């Protein structure tokens, strides 16, 4: 399994929320469907109970800088609870990428930004990115992502609706499951 990749995803999600909403010393709960956990970890487990058991007994996962992560199964998802101390670690020790700060700033200050404005932010960091219009009927209008490693590994799915532009950020594996 690739526990480090899951830990990075957890850390990245916490950091993104802290940039958007500000830092508050609190427990953060993230919810993952089994399909996402299997994709991130490259695991062949067949159920959430089996996944929970594997993660609970994994040294890398349990002795991370985030501290112990509590796990609970809720229906078809697993809740991962990161303690206030783990969130404080992310706040104080994990730097946000300039790209992430800029893309969040764009969406925060331009509620109806255009796809050209989103592309401008991507182009500031690399000309090696893809902007693809999604098929009609999909949940999003566009997907943008960098093709070279090192800038940002996430796929940004953008939707324009009711006078607002929103984005959702997915790992490549989760995007492919859409």
Per-residue pLDDT tens, the chain, 178 aa: give them.
Answer: 588 899 999 999 999 999 999 999 999 999 999 999 999 999 999 999 999 999 988 887 778 999 989 999 999 999 999 999 999 999 999 999 999 999 999 999 999 999 999 999 999 999 999 999 999 889 999 999 999 878 999 999 999 988 899 999 999 988 988 7
Neighbour-count burial for 43-63, b at 16+ CB within 10 Å, e otherwise: bebeebeebbebbeeeeebee
87 shares a domain with 103? no
Query: Which candidate, 125, 122, 124, places its Cα nearest to that of 145?
Result: 122
What is the pTM assigned to this prediction?
A: 0.92
Report yes or no: 163 and 1 within 8 Å, Cβ to Cβ: no
Domain end, chosen from 57, 92, 127, is at 92
Angstrom distance (rounded) from CA 52 to CA 43: 12
Domain end, chosen from 45, 75, 92, is at 92
166 shares a domain with 138? yes
135 shares a domain with 78? no
Looking at residue 69, what is its pLDDT?
Answer: 92
Looking at residue 58, what is its pLDDT?
Answer: 85
Looking at residue 59, what is its pLDDT?
Answer: 82
CB-based contacts of 49, cutoff 8 Å, min separation 6: 73
Structural domain total, the chain: 2
105 shares a domain with 61? no
Report yes or no: 1 and 43 within 8 Å, Cβ to Cβ: yes
Looking at residue 67, what is its pLDDT?
Answer: 92
112 shares a domain with 79? no
Alpha carbon 112 to chain centroid distance? 22
Domain end, chosen from 92, 110, 143, is at 92
130 shares a domain with 80? no
Q: Report the chain's terminal Cα–Cα distance, integer Å.
A: 22
86 shares a domain with 28? yes
- Beta pairing partners, 156: 144, 169
Report yes or no: 170 and 155 within 8 Å, Cβ to Cβ: yes
Residue 109, classified by CB atoms within 10 Å of its CB into exposed (0-12), middle (13-18) or buried (19+), is exposed
Query: What number of residues does the chain have?
Result: 178
Angstrom distance (rounded) from CA 159 to CA 78: 27
Range of the domain at 38: 3-92
Looking at residue 177, what is its pLDDT?
Answer: 83
Looking at residue 60, what is its pLDDT?
Answer: 78
């Amino acid at each position: 399994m690739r526990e480090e990749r899951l830990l990075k995803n957890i850390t990245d999600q916490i950091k993104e929320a802290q940039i958007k909403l500000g830092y508050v010393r609190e427990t953060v709960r993230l919810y993952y469907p089994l399909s996402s956990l299997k994709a991130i970890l490259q695991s062949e487990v067949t159920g959430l109970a089996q996944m929970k058991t594997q993660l609970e007994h994994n040294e890398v996962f349990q002795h991370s800088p985030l501290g112990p992560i509590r796990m609970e199964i809720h229906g078809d998802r697993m809740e991962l609870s990161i303690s206030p101390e783990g969130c404080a670690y992310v706040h104080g020790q994990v730097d946000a990428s300039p790209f992430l700060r800029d893309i969040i700033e764009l969406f925060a200050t331009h509620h109806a930004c255009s796809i050209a404005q989103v592309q401008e932010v991507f182009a500031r960091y690399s000309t090696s990115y893809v902007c693809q219009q999604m098929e009609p009927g999909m949940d999003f209008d566009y997907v943008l992502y960098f093709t070279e490693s090192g800038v940002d590994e996430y796929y940004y799915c953008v939707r324009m609706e009711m006078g607002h532009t929103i984005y959702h950020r997915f790992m490549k594996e989760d995007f492919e499951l859409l």
